[in-house]
Amino acid sequence: MTQLKMTNMKPDIRRIVLLLLVMTVPLTSSGWGRLGHAAINKIAEDHLTKTARKAIDQYMGGESIVTFASWPDDYRDRLNEGFRPHWNKARAYAHTYEVDTLLMPYRGIDDNGRYVTNALYFIDGFISDLACAHELDDTTRFIEIVMLCHFIGDMHCPGHIRYQPKRDIASWKVTFLGMDTKYHTVWDGDILRAYYPWSWSDFAKMCDISSDEEIAAAVKGDFYDWAHDAAVLSHDARMAVKKGDTLDEEWAIDRLELTRCLIRKAGYRLAHQLNMIFDAKYAKKNRLEQ
């Protein structure tokens, strides 16, 4: 873990950081696991503008966004164990999202009376809140930056995309490389741990290989467009799995490029979204271009 830069932190930020680090323990991870989320945040951090980096550094009390890449998963797990600090919204937030039969993501949380599991709905809220970041209190601003970073990572994870009509595939029991597990868990770190036994910083470098032109193409549109793209890219992998399947080494190797592709896109798109929020010149330039 990085050494904390506590000396120059405002008192409120210091308390937030200490509270979150106390809760960041080795619990069950979700959506890429620790390696994937840290790599996504590292890629994003490396592609921030100077203006956005300065603002985020101030709001995060000097802490890297990588430090808290998996915090929403750890926090939710602690809540499920009965831990009840004052800020408990993490458990209410969905970490997955649904798409319709055309692979288009829902834009709300209601489908003719049926509750829609929709992380994108909450991402929209974080972006709206952070557009007025200076008006938020230290705790809310800090945590919503952390949640936005994590959820943009989650929305690119194949195990977090719920397709019609069998939305429960994530809970299906499968065997992965000889181990009994769930389809969701395969993507929640298992496939990365099995084939990428390096540090998150090395893995980020391995994934961050796109040209400026490729990055520009990847970040076009908004996060609903990105969610559709992730759903399209992940669809074949989902359709190839049935309940009780054995996912062997051939299955895993055939999907390694998909994992790297989605992780790099998540990193670029997270950087783009943070730049749009925290760098007015970047936002103006990109709105004109799109």
d(CA 269, CA 144): 17
**DSSP symbols for 63-129:** --TTTTTTHHHHHHHHHHTT---S--GGGTS-S-EEB-TTSPBPSSSEETTEEP-BHHHHHHHHHHH
Closest by CA position to 123, among listed 257, 266, 279, 282: 266
Cα torsion through 261, 267, 272, 273, rounded to 10: 110
The predicted structure's pLDDT at residue 29: 43
Domains of the chain: 31-289 (1.10.575.10)
d(CA 90, CA 77): 10
Say if residues 188 and 32 touch (Cβ distance below 8 Å).
yes
Closest by CA position to 65, among listed 89, 43, 50: 43
> From the first residue on, what is the mean pLDDT of each consecutive set of 10 residues in the chain (290 residues)?
46 53 44 91 98 96 93 63 42 80 94 90 95 92 93 95 83 93 91 92 97 97 97 92 93 95 98 98 86
The predicted structure's pLDDT at residue 239: 87
Query: 173-176 and 179-182 as β-strands: parallel, antiparallel, unpaired?
Result: antiparallel
The predicted structure's pLDDT at residue 132: 95
Which residues, 6 or more positions from 196, have their beta carbon under 8 angstroms from its beta carbon? 35, 203, 206
The predicted structure's pLDDT at residue 216: 97
The predicted structure's pLDDT at residue 22: 42
Angle between helices 280-289 and 50-59 (to 10 degrees): 130
Other beta carbons within 10 angstroms of residue 139's beta carbon come to 15
Say if residues 120 and 152 touch (Cβ distance below 8 Å).
no
